[in-house]
Chains A and B, each alone.
Chain A
Amino acid sequence: MNYHKFDVVIVGAGGAGLMSAMQLAHNSSIAVISKLYPTRSHTGAAQGGVAAALGNQEEDNWKWHMFDTVKGGDYLVDQDAAAILTREAIDAVYELEHWGLPFNRTEDGKIDQRRFGGHSRNFGEGPVRRSCYAADRTGHMILQTMYQQSVKNQVRFFNEYMMLDLLINDGQACGVVALCLRDGSIHTFHAKAIVLATGGYGRAWRITSNALACTGDGMAVAYRRGIPLEDMEMYQFHPTGLYKVGILLSEAARGEGAYLLNSEGERFCVRYAPTMEELAPRDMVSRFIYDEIAAGRGIDGKDYVYLSVAHLGKEKIDAKLPDITDFARNYLGVEPYYEPVPIQPTAHYAMGGIPTDIEGRVVVDEHNTVLPGLYAAGEVACVSVHGANRLGTNSLVDLIVFGRRAGKHIAAKWLPEADFAPLPNAPDAFATEMVESLLARGKNGANGKNSQNGKGTGETQEALRADLRDSMMENVGVVRDEQRLTAQLARVVELKQRWRNLRLMDTSRTFNTELMEVVELGNLIECAEATVAGALARKESRGAHYRTDYPKRDDVNFLKHTLAYRTEHVGEPELRYKPVVITEFEPKERKY
């Protein structure tokens, strides 16, 4: 057995994982395990900015930011966590600047800030400049800066190691098991603390802004080990994905003044959201687009509308939005200087995930009982600061604030008192069995009959992947209802069954990416199960979860968080609920 022992093991090398690592690198032995080279992480694809009430451009206040976060999340946000998010964002942004992050600057040398969807002054009066940014590649700059700091602090990386299992013994998390892609070996990492920072699962949908690596690995691994997943039905569709491709065109475009047009050339957002217009929250703008298309006002009667930046002028486009306009040129052959860009909503962000408290500790029930030694931060986690709908830029805020808090809590509170829990017997048994059975199915086919290497009978991964992504798009998209969700739950059961019989074409142990992809596909199906079950049970419309059969928010029955626990019965997770933390903003109807 390949055995490694560290005080702390961090899984995932995006913004949240590296931010945790920075708090720990000086005085404890840590390792970061990453499926990708760290700089490939999906944090790098974030574009528009990171919100913090610095007030560099106009008056601002973290309380306003907190209010916007709570209201944007349709009041499913835990307000104690939102207060921390918005207050600590300010210091966290300065910390990034001190580490060298190249923010755009104001004339007087401060960090420049711009408008973003749902961010307002004085509790909703109108848009405010709150998003700190570096052109339209803020996430790239954050990821690079954190990786640079990791190099400076000599963080130990295990690159291209994929987590397959989480180890829990004596009621304490004590390690993870990972596959080394390069040689197919299985490694057991023994640790006092584990931080899951593995990101989201947008690849469960056909049209998505997410990287191919965003397959819900952390969520699925935790879910299999009995940890609940919180509010998974709250999945965000970003309004402006490139038509058919799904690549994100940042809200920064609308923040800089771009607008949306239907087939009649009308700026339709004004009709739905007279105050914030195109800068209403994402769930609403995605629904506006959906409604326009349903009313026959999609371009050429098809399922897309236009994003227009041409009126901003070349100079501003090149200075503020260079990358996203390149995407339009490169992938659609559209020249944004002169032409409107075809866009459609794209699966973008999981508000839900592994439940944690405000220190980043994973909690496992409706009483917020802590699972000692286990932490989660970033998109994989649900604190919950995003509630039913995340505001633009708040994902990067989440990474830096709660990645930092998790690391600090481990360093200051957990490591001084914790010991290594013993590993369970045969700690790598589950992971080894998974890999060996998949490779064996490659050799022999799903039915176990001998055949030529890689020529066994049975289904290969592609049809299954397509079926998952198409059905999620159809049934668990911007708009949902009982019938579609029921159909999708049955579909998930079928997909799980088919997954167990998948056949691999590649049986090598050297950098077997087909093996990786099949494991990822299994993880996506686990995430889909929790998502669909939560959505079916939530008989109301709130934030990103919009049901035509229950079009109103129902605070009496559903102002609560869903907790989905995996059971032995496929397609039947156990659902429990826990209350939302409300400290100062009573739920009100959302108007923009």
Chain B
Amino acid sequence: MPAETSTRVVQVKVKRYQPDQSAKPFWQEYRVEAEGNDRLLDVLNKIKWEQDGTLTYRRSCAHGVCGSDAMRVNGRNRLACKLLVNDLGARISVEPMLGFPVIRDLVVDMDPFFAKYEKIKPYLINDEPEPRTERQQSPEQRERYDETTKCILCGACTGSCPSVWANAEWVGPASIVNAHRFIFDSRDRGGAERLQILSDRTGVWRCRTIFNCSEACPRGIPVTDAIEEVKRAIMYGTTDIA
């Protein structure tokens, strides 16, 4: 039985940036009635639709699978559609993710993020002739890279990484997660190329195992572990490692 929850007033403090009006970001507070089961995204929609149409953010699926609404909530990167008011308390602070250029309010420029993703050749590489049916893969081989197939490219990990904040050139955790997805896929033949790319100065070695990425991932991917596996693959020159 779903818990009935009472309506309450929550205070939402949003770090805003309205480039048409001012070059400086500013904080704005909204008070809004919400139920405990409301998502933070519902709260933002309520503000936008009922109080202030200029409040700007991305959103689409509203249940944590499309990755549009990653933002910094009470100091941590989260998806606004996966957080419930019940879990956030009566005072909520919302900011755009760090480490990305801000376009307006909570909307950040994702183009550099996707450019880094493209750098690691995020597609199956295998020039062998295709069989008439499927390529074979055992359940164990399939399981080997299962975690990293879950990535929705929301950017929460990359935007929470101090090494990314310090060096915009670094590929960042999301790219490595997607490299891992192919490096450990038994059907892929591009592992060596990707390991080469990731072993240079903008590659995996800038990871300082801070674990912010793993904590931020809304899909529960053990991001830091995946990065460590890629590091070990580079060190030992093989993906055949535990």
Contact = CB atoms under 8 A, between A and B. Distances in A.
Contacts of B188: 100
Interface in A404-456: 454
B49 A211 contact: no
Contact of B61 (A37, A44, A98, A299): A44
Contact of B82 (A151, A182, A330): A330
Interface of A (DSSP majority class): loop
Contact of A98 (B48, B65, B104, B130): B130
Contacts of A213: 60
Interface in A237-267: 243-245, 247
Interface in B53-80: 53-54, 56-68
Given A42-B66, A148-B124, A504-B53, A332 B134 contact: no
A462 B138 contact: no
A560 interface: no
Contacts of B162: none
Interface in B134-185: 134-139, 141-142, 145-146, 149-153, 182, 185
Contacts of A461: 49, 53
Given A109-B137, A151-B122, A342-B1, A100 B48 contact: no
Nearest to A299: B1
Interface in A203-233: 211-213
A462 B59 CA distance: 17
B2 interface: yes
Contacts of A99: 123-124
A45 interface: yes
Interface stretch (A58-66, A507-515, A573-581): A507-515
B239 to A, nearest CB: 16
Contacts of B65: 44-45, 137, 140, 323
Contacts of B121: 152
B123 A152 contact: yes
Q: Which of A40, A110, A342 has the most CB of B within 10 A?
A: A40
Given A137-B150, A333-B2, A45 B136 contact: no
A300 B2 CA distance: 12
B118 interface: yes
Interface in A142-191: 144, 148-149, 151-152, 159, 182
Contacts of B67: 39-40
Contacts of A591: none
A97 B136 CA distance: 10
Given A39-B67, A98-B135, A212 B62 contact: yes
A323 B56 CA distance: 29
Contacts of A97: 134-135
A149 B150 CA distance: 17
Contact of B185 (A102, A109, A299, A508): A102
How big is chain A's contact interface, by range? 35 or more
B50 A109 contact: no
A327 interface: yes
Contact of A102 (B39, B118, B136, B145): B145
B23 interface: no
Given A107-B139, A244-B2, A333-B3, A102 B149 contact: yes
Contacts of B117: 151
Contacts of B206: none
A39 B152 contact: yes
A57 interface: no
A510 B21 CA distance: 11
Interface residues of B, number: 63
B37 interface: yes
B138 to A, nearest CB: 5
A211 B110 CA distance: 20
Contact of B2 (A243, A454, A514): A243
Contacts of A333: 2-3, 37
A505 interface: yes
A42 B182 CA distance: 24
A557 to B, nearest CB: 40
A44 B152 CA distance: 9
B224 to A, nearest CB: 21
Interface in A64-101: 94, 97-100
Contacts of B59: 212
Q: Which of B61, B107, B145 has the most CB of A within 10 A?
A: B61
B123 A149 contact: yes
Contacts of A54: 133
Nearest to B149: A102
Contacts of A107: 138-139
A460 B49 contact: yes
A110 B134 CA distance: 7
B193 interface: no
Contacts of B37: 331-333
Nearest to B153: A39
A105 interface: yes
A462 B49 CA distance: 5
Nearest to A104: B142
Interface string A306-349: 00000000000000000100010011111000010010000000
B200 interface: no
B73 to A, nearest CB: 15
B101 to A, nearest CB: 12
B88 interface: no
Contacts of A111: 134
B232 interface: no
A141 interface: yes
A110 to B, nearest CB: 6
B53 A505 contact: yes
28 contacts: A37-B110, A39-B66, A39-B67, A45-B65, A99-B123, A99-B124, A100-B187, A102-B142, A102-B149, A103-B134, A103-B142, A105-B137, A105-B139, A107-B139, A110-B133, A110-B134, A211-B61, A211-B62, A213-B60, A330-B64, A342-B1, A454-B54, A462-B49, A506-B53, A508-B20, A508-B54, A510-B20, A511-B107
Given A98-B130, A102-B149, A465-B49, 15 more contacts: A102-B142, A109-B138, A137-B150, A151-B122, A151-B123, A182-B103, A211-B62, A243-B2, A300-B1, A323-B65, A327-B64, A333-B37, A334-B2, A506-B56, A510-B104
Interface of B: 1-3, 18-20, 37, 39, 48-50, 52-54, 56-68, 82, 84, 103-104, 107, 110-111, 114, 117-118, 121-124, 130, 132-139, 141-142, 145-146, 149-153, 182, 185, 187-188
The 8 closest A-B pairs by CB, nearest first: A505-B53, A100-B124, A109-B136, A462-B49, A148-B123, A514-B53, A152-B123, A506-B54
